[in-house]
Every structure is written in structure tokens, then in C-alpha cells.
A and B are shown apart, each in its own frame.
Chain A
Amino acid sequence: MSKQVVLLVGTKKGLFTLRSDGDRKKWTTEGPYGGPVPIHHAVYDPRDGSMYAAINSTWGGARIEYSRDLGRTWTVTKNPAFPEGSGHTFFQTWHIEPGHKKTPNVVWAGVEPAALFKSEDRGESWQWVRSLEEHPSRPKWNPGAGGLGLHSIAIDADDPNKMNIGISAGGAFNTADGGKTWNADNATTGQSERPDVFSCIHKLLAHPKVSGVRFMRVHLEVYWREPGETTWTYRTPGLPTTFGFAAAIHPHDRAAAYVIPLHDMQRTAVDPGIAVYATRDRGQTWTRNDKGLPAGAHLEALREGMHTDTFDPVGVYFGSANGEVYASRDEGKSWERIVQYLPYVTSVHAATIEG
């Protein structure tokens, strides 16, 4: 098999797959699979080539499906399920995260009501990580505008027992023992005046190669963490707005990341229009990148709406609420629209397949 990129594009009406070779110049579009159901998140597992999709259907309830043939056929997994007496009922899945390469059969799922589920059989079944529910802060978790969901699962590059998770609106937590115990992880150096925003995490990412590097997008702030640090460094200055959802971390450069700033009330890009902001110095400075993006367009990109491939130079991708997907082949400096007229795009995930 030659090099290729497969974009898993979740929309409100099914899953689309966009495929290209390593040049990333020509794309074919297939789908929708599962239409008209909403796909909240779809992800590729590079460990074994599996794909997973969070299908949050109303008819028949939410479910998770996996594919073992690069998206051509899909199988329904056993649902995440809360036990009797827990006081919870599984509503929908917000995020699926393949486990560390040292734990080849482990896959994680963040769900609503906010909880973490672990699969030890490559997504066939899921077990509730009850320890998180027992954290003393649990009674204080409150739904954000989109619900109370666990949406970020950031696994350390070296140690599968070290993870950070993010909950809207419950905060950021970490574990160093594979989820047996959890610590609130919200100490910062410098932040905005509002005391409440740190509970509403929007996206928390771990660098895939450098242990201890983290990048976090909170409701009205952006933070960075270096290895060995136990606080979050405030890195919002330089961005045109403090708000946003979509975020991505560079898969190679340990100091680089991307965000799409939005208006905090309208939830769309501000003037002069949609742009991807990139940092190459851990968030100390930000650079606007809008070449090839529609000038003046007040587009919206969601939490799971941006991702990168792992080629060199890195490809960066994001989807918009008006059904477009944009791609950059030069690490975010310039962009082109690669598909339009899709339903509302909810997630974009790039599967890098090296032949």
C-alpha cells in the first residue's frame, strides 16, 4: 500500500471519508456512511488500522462502531453502560481515543454524562472508569451549553499510565496510575479575570512524541505545559479572541500548535474572517494564516474539527459548520478547500497511512 491520507469527516448527517495519496493534492470523497445520523467524532488507530466512530443517533440511541478495513464496513460495539445504582444513563459519546502503543488493545471513550470508559478488546466492549466519578469535585461538574461531556483524553507519549482528561464543564484532571486515581489539574501561571472559565475545558492535547508536553484550549484561554511542570502557562495573548474550540498539536515540532479563534458569543470567526493561528514557540507568539481561506468568512469550526497528518511537511485540516473541509500541505501557512456541500462538519481526523 502506498502512502495515503484518509480524512474521517464526521457530520450531522453521516460519516464521509476523503482519501488522497501522499501528495495530498487530489481528494476523493465517499459517503455518507450512517446517514442521516450525527457523527460526533471518528478516529483512526495507527496501531492496527482500526477506525472508530461515535454515532450519536436519536433513533436507537447513541452507539460506537468500529471498522477494521479503513472505513469500508463497520460493526456496532457493545454500548458503554453505567451500572444499576450509578445514577447515570449513557447518553452519547464525545470522544474516542486509541490507547498508547504499549497497550495495543486499549481504547478510551469520553461520554456524556461526563465519564471515562475503557475498552481492553479494541472497542468491542467498554468498562466504566469509576474512579473518576469518585473525585470530590464531581458534584460541582455542570453541563456546558452542549452538555456535560468528557471530550479530551490526552495520553502521555511515553507512559500509558499518565493521562490528562478534559470535561465541559468539570475541569482538567490527570492520572499517573492508569486511571486508578485522579487529580484536579487546574493550577495556572497567569490567567484571565474570570474565576470560572477553567472548569470549561474545550480541548486538551498531549504531544504524541514528547512526554509531558501538553496544549490546552479552555473556554476563554489557551495554555501550554512543558515536561516536569505542574502548572499551565497562560498563552492567550496574541490571539484575536480568547474563545474557540478547534485545536491541534503539531505531531513533530514540540513547540507548535494550532487554534481557530472564534467570537465568544456568536461562535464564528471574527473579522477579517476565518483563519488558523499557529504558534512555533509554545504559545508565546501566534501567527495568523488565512492564505487560501475565504476572505471575510465568519465560519465556525467545532471542538473535534481540526487535526493533522504526520507527514513532513505536516498537513493540517479543519472542517466548518457550513460543510466545507480545508487542507494545508505546508503546515498551516496556506490553505485550499478540498470539499464543500457536506452537512454540518462536526469532526475531522486525519489518518496517515504509510505504505
Chain B
Amino acid sequence: MRVLLHGAWRGFAGGAREVPLEAATLRDALAELVRVHPGLGERLRDEHGVLRAHLSLFINDEDARFVGGEDATLHEGDIVHVIPALSGGQ
């Protein structure tokens, strides 16, 4: 499977657009993503481990919030999209 970083999120990962990785759940995928790109750590979650606002996570075409959130199971070939939500900025 792979993670695709969109928009501003690429900048936090040194410009990386695509990160191939293996993970059983969305939570595991995000943890592995931060392991590969530590700069994403404090950008994805606050100091208490809560995912930040203005962050959209999709598993393939499904909004992750509606398919189990961070507990969502991932399968071979899945694409996790990390997207700046259509809510931030000024």
C-alpha cells in the first residue's frame, strides 16, 4: 500500500508525494509515515496525540471518519490520502 501526501503536507515531508509502506490499520500507517518522515510527527498530531484539525484522511475514495477512523483496516493496494482539509488557511 502507499500514502499520498497532498498540498501542504508534502512540504512537511521534504517534498515527498508518495510513501510506500505496510500497515494493518490507518493508525499503524500514520505511525509508519512519521517514522519515515519524522517532520510530520508534530504536524499530524498535537502533544496529546490527537490528530490535528484541518486534516482529511481518506482510504482510497472513502473518508476515513466513516470507515472506522484510525482503527480502519488497510489492505494490500490501498491508498491512504493525507489532505489539507477544505477548512484551513486564511
A interface, CB within 8 angstroms of B: 12-13, 36, 38, 57-61, 63, 76, 78-79, 81-84, 89-90
* Least distance between A343 CB and chain B CB atoms (Å): 9
Interface residues of B in 54-90 (CB under 8 A from A): 54-55, 84-85, 87-90
Q: A67–B50 Cα gap in the complex (Å)?
A: 29
Q: Is the CB of B9 within 8 A of A84?
A: no
Q: Which residue of A lies closest to B47 (CB)?
A: A81
- Among all A-B residue pairs, the 7 with the closest Cβ atoms: A58-B88, A81-B47, A60-B43, A59-B84, A59-B8, A59-B88, A58-B54
A12-B90, A38-B90, A78-B42 known; A60 vs B8 contact (CB < 8 Å):
yes
Interface residues contributed by chain B, number (CB under 8 Å): 22
* A58-B53, A58-B54, A59-B8 given; A90·B43 CB < 8 A: no
Q: With contacts A59-B8, A60-B8 known, is A90 near B89, CB below 8 A?
A: no
Known contacts A58-B88, A59-B89, A60-B8: does B53 contact A82 (CB below 8 Å)?
Answer: no
Q: How far is the CA of A44 from the CA of B21 in the complex (A)?
A: 41
* Inter-subunit contact B47/A60 (CB<8 Å): no
The answer for the CA separation of A13 and B8 in the assembled complex, in Å, is 14
In the bound assembly, the distance between CA atoms of A89 and B48 in angstroms comes to 8
Closest-by-CB residue of A relative to B45 is A61
Q: Which residues of chain A are near B50, meaning CB under 8 Å?
A: 89
The reply to whether B42 and A63 form a contact with Cβ atoms under 8 Å apart is yes
In angstroms, how far is the closest chain B Cβ from the Cβ of A334? 34
Give the residues in chain A near B55, CB-CB below 8 Å.
Answer: 59-60
**Given A78-B42, A89-B47, are A61 and B52 neighbors across the interface (CB < 8 Å)?**
yes
Q: Could you say which residues of chain B place their CB within 8 Å of the CB of A13?
A: 90
Residues of B within 8 A of A90 (CB): 46-47
Q: A58-B53, A89-B46 are in contact. Are A76 and B39 (CB under 8 A)?
A: yes
**Further contacts, 15 of them, CB under 8 A, given A58-B53, A59-B88, A89-B46:** A38-B90, A58-B88, A59-B54, A59-B85, A59-B89, A60-B8, A60-B12, A60-B43, A60-B52, A61-B52, A76-B42, A79-B42, A82-B47, A89-B48, A89-B50
A73 to chain B, nearest CB (A): 13
B43 surroundings in chain A (CB, below 8 A): 60-61, 63
